[in-house]
Amino acid sequence: MRRLMCVLFLLIFCTKQGTSSGPHHAEVPLRCCFNFIDFQIPTEMIVSAVKIGSHCPAPGIVVTTRRTEFCVRPDEKWIQKVMKDVQWI
């Protein structure tokens, strides 16, 4: 009986350790750009512009308007001017 309890305890302990969802699993980035627009958004329509982090495979800037979000390549001249002229938080 005592041996059975020990085996059950070890089995439960090992099973619990194997299903831990801690930092061992790969984290999925919250926001990355995979498709980029090829047109300019009028400055007055832009609500915010945020550079995405280095966790993404491609650099980009997420531009938000009142209706949707767009991904823009950071080397586009117009977005560089927007980012320079306006202090985005």
The whole-number pLDDT of residue 85 equals 84
Measured in residues, the chain has a length of 89
Is 45 domain-assigned? yes
**Domain of 49?**
35-89
Is 14 domain-assigned? no
Which are the contacts of 64, defined by CB distance < 8 A and separation ≥ 6?
46, 47, 48, 49, 50, 70
The whole-number pLDDT of residue 86 equals 75
Is 46 domain-assigned? yes
* Nearest of 76, 27, 77 to residue 53 by alpha carbon: 27
Enter the pTM of the model: 0.62
Tens of pLDDT, residue by residue over 7-51, are: 556 666 666 555 445 455 455 547 899 999 999 999 999 999 999
Which helix (H) or strand (E) segment holds residue 65: the answer is strand 61-65
Instruction: Provide the CATH number for the domain around residue 63.
Output: 2.40.50.40
Is 85 domain-assigned? yes
Number of domains in the chain: 1
Confidence of residue 80 (pLDDT cuts 50, 70, 90): very high
